[in-house]
């Protein structure tokens, strides 16, 4: 079948909406007609070149739509179901899957960085040439094919624009707090970086009834958004005494939990300065993989636990429907996260705005 997709041909290039050819479904494939897709910072990293992927490629890994067709071996979803894409399809039986770490699934980590699906192959072509998949989802398109474990059913009452953002930014932020750090009620949580992921970490802290929720960001606009999403305090992350201010709000000890979601060297350093001895740090942000980050050795001492997480320990089949229900019950804000809606033809303008740091999430409406 033919379908339209936004194709990136080279680093630093513009996305071009082109007609591609999708290969027939393999037995484990799910074909989804996408209705909405978000623009995530990770997509921008590929455009800008700090994250290397083979080209040409169809970016996008936050998507929601309707299952159009399934391969003959698929049992977990059926045509007509509403789904949110998970960018962590996994085999379910490799070394890491068997240890409860689907994010490290061996076929996934082997093939995904090479722009391929879980089985190592490619479904998309342009004039006979392969076009690479991104995060096994490639949602900046009107259709996508993904492995069964990447198509997660959600309640049909959930609007597609709000559904799509659950697939990355919302899951990662809420998951970092609820699943990865397992923050207890009454604990203090500091969140560094109040962008799309950080705001969701703040929402996660509110969901588990954390006590003090301290947002740190260099932008006054983002600090005020953080307060609207449930932070109890906001601190300028650029202030030389930012860690001292966190200690001032936490009986002089530092926060029980620090979630880093800014993706800057200074934020990684601040995270370990601001956590209390024995506390837990979760790093969500990322910088170029070859960069080095210097730490003050003393800031790493004191029995601190530091962990990096890409997807907030997501178990999408468990967590996406849960977040959808929390939204429908009024306990998670999704409407307020979407600050711009565009068509597929405006996708470059959407990324330009993301590069300028404008808004929270831009959603492309596809149908
Ligand atoms: Zn993302
Ligand atoms: Zn696996």
pLDDT tens for 309-356 read 999 999 999 999 999 999 999 999 999 999 999 999 999 999 999 999
Q: Could you tell me if 42 and 168 are in contact, meaning their C-beta atoms sit under 8 angstroms apart?
A: yes
pLDDT of residue 73 exceeding 80? yes
Measure 43 CA to ligand 1 centroid, in angstroms.
Answer: 7
* Ligand 1 centroid distance, CA of 90 (Å): 17
Cα diameter, the chain: 64
Nearest bound ligand to the CA of residue 90: 2
Give the residue from 326, 320, 358 showing the smallest Cα distance to 342. 358
pLDDT tens column, 209-240: 999 999 999 999 999 999 999 999 999 999 99
pLDDT in tens, 164-212: 999 999 999 999 999 999 999 999 999 999 999 999 999 999 999 999 9
| Ligand 1 centroid – CA 244 distance (Å) | 31
Q: What is the pLDDT averaged over residues 76-97? A: 97
**From ligand 1's centre to the CA of 311, what distance in Å?**
9
Mean pLDDT, residues 57-76:
98
**Cα–ligand 2 centroid distance for 101 (angstroms):** 8
- How far apart are the C-alpha atoms of 118 and 303, rounded to whole Å? 38
90 pLDDT tier (thresholds 50, 70, 90): very high
Measured in Å, residue 241 CA sits from the centre of ligand 1 at 31
Could you give the CA distance from residue 327 to residue 159 in angstroms, rounded to a whole number?
11
- Cα angle: 264, vertex 357, 189; to 5 degrees: 50
Crossing angle for the helix pair 196-207 and 220-228, nearest 10 degrees? 30
Give 209 Cα–ligand 1 centroid separation in angstroms: 26
Q: Which ligand is nearest to the CA of 99?
A: 2
pLDDT of residue 56: 98
Are residues 42 and 61 in contact, defined by beta-carbon separation less than 8 angstroms? yes
Tell me if 19 sits within 8 A of 4, measured CB to CB: yes
Helices (H) and strands (E) in the chain, counts: 11, 18
What ligand has the least distance to the C-alpha of 284? 1
Distance CA 364, CA 166 (A): 14
Among the bound ligands, name the one nearest to the CA of residue 87: 1
Residue 96: nearest ligand to its CA? 2
Rounded Cα–Cα distance for residues 361 and 351 (Å): 10
pLDDT at 290: 92
The pLDDT score that the predictor gives to residue 31 is 98
**Rounded distance from Cα 168 to ligand 1 centre (Å):** 5
- Ligand lying nearest the CA atom of residue 110: 2
Strands 29-38 and 63-70: antiparallel
Q: For residue 356, how many other CB atoms are within 10 A of its CB?
A: 8
Query: What are 235-290's pLDDT values in tens digits?
Result: 999 999 999 999 999 999 999 999 999 999 999 999 999 999 999 999 999 998 89
Indicate which ligand has the atom closest to the C-alpha of 286. Answer: 1
Calculate how far, in angstroms, residue 109's C-alpha sits from the geometric centre of ligand 2: 9
pLDDT band at 17 (very low <50, low <70, confident <90, very high): very high
Alpha carbons 210 and 354: distance in angstroms, whole number: 30
From the list 151, 143, 149, the residue with the least C-alpha distance to 22 is 143
- Rounded CA-CA distance 243/254 in Å is 8
Helix (H) or strand (E) holding 267: helix 265-274
CA of 346 to the centre of ligand 2 (A): 37
Q: What is the token pair recorded at 127?
A: 């004039």
Cβ atoms of 40 and 173 closer than 8 Å = no
3-state secondary structure of 214: strand
Query: Long-range contacts of range 111-114, CB-CB < 8 Å, 24 or more positions apart?
Result: 111/136, 112/136, 113/53, 114/54
- Average pLDDT over the chain reads 97
- What is the b/e burial string over 66-96, where b = at least 16 CB atoms within 10 angstroms of the residue's CB? bbbbbbeebeebeeebbbbbbbbbbbeebeb
Arithmetic mean of pLDDT, 298-312? 97
Q: Which ligand is nearest to the CA of 149?
A: 2
The ligand minimizing its distance to the Cα of 135 is 1
Separation of 199 CA from ligand 2 center, angstroms? Answer: 30
* Ligand 2 center to 89 CA (angstroms): 9
Q: Note the ligand closest to the C-alpha atom of 195.
A: 1
Omega before 190 cis (within 30°)? Answer: no
Q: Which ligand is nearest to the CA of 61?
A: 1
- Give the number of whichever ligand sits closest to the CA of residue 42: 1
pLDDT on residue 68: 98
- Run of H or E including 64: strand 63-70
Q: Is the pLDDT assigned to residue 367 strictly greater than 90?
A: no
CA neighbor of 256 nearest in space, from 322, 197, 208: 208
Please tell me the distance from the alpha carbon of residue 344 to that of residue 367, in angstroms, as a whole number: 10
């Amino acid at each position: 079948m033919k379908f339209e997709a936004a194709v990136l041909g080279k680093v630093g290039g513009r996305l071009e909406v082109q007609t591609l050819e999708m290969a027939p479904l393999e037995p484990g494939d799910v074909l989804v007609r996408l209705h909405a897709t978000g623009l995530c910072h990770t997509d921008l990293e590929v455009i800008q070149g700090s994250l290397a992927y083979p080209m040409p490629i169809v970016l996008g890994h936050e998507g929601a739509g309707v299952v159009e067709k399934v391969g003959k071996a698929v049992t977990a979803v059926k045509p007509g179901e509403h789904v949110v894409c998970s960018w962590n399809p996994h085999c379910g039986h490799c070394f890491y899957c068997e240890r409860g770490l689907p994010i490290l699934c061996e076929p996934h980590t082997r093939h995904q960085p090479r722009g391929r699906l879980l089985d190592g192959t490619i479904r998309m072509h342009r004039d006979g040439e392969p076009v690479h998949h991104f995060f096994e989802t490639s949602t900046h398109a009107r259709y996508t094919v993904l492995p069964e474990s990447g198509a997660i059913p959600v309640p049909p009452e959930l609007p597609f624009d709000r559904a799509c953002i659950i697939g990355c930014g919302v899951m990662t932020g809420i998951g970092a707090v609820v699943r990865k750090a397992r923050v207890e009620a009454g604990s203090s949580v500091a969140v560094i970086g109040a962008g799309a992921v950080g705001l969701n970490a703040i929402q996660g802290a509110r969901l588990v009834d954390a006590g003090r929720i301290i947002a740190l960001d260099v932008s006054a606009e983002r600090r005020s958004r953080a307060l609207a999403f449930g932070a109890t305090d906001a601190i300028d992350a650029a202030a030389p005494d930012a860690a001292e201010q966190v200690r001032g709000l936490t009986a002089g000890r530092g926060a029980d939990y620090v979630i880093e979601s800014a993706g800057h060297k200074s934020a990684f350093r601040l995270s370990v300065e601001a956590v209390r001895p024995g506390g837990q740090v979760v790093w969500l942000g990322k910088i170029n993989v070859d960069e080095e980050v210097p730490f003050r050795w003393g800031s790493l001492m004191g029995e601190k636990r530091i962990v990096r997480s890409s997807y907030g320990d997501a178990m999408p089949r468990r967590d996406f429907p849960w977040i959808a229900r929390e939204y429908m019950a009024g306990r998670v804000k999704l409407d307020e996260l979407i600050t711009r809606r565009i068509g597929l033809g405006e996708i470059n303008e959407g990324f330009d705005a993301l590069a300028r740091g404008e808004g929270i999430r831009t959603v492309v409406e596809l149908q």
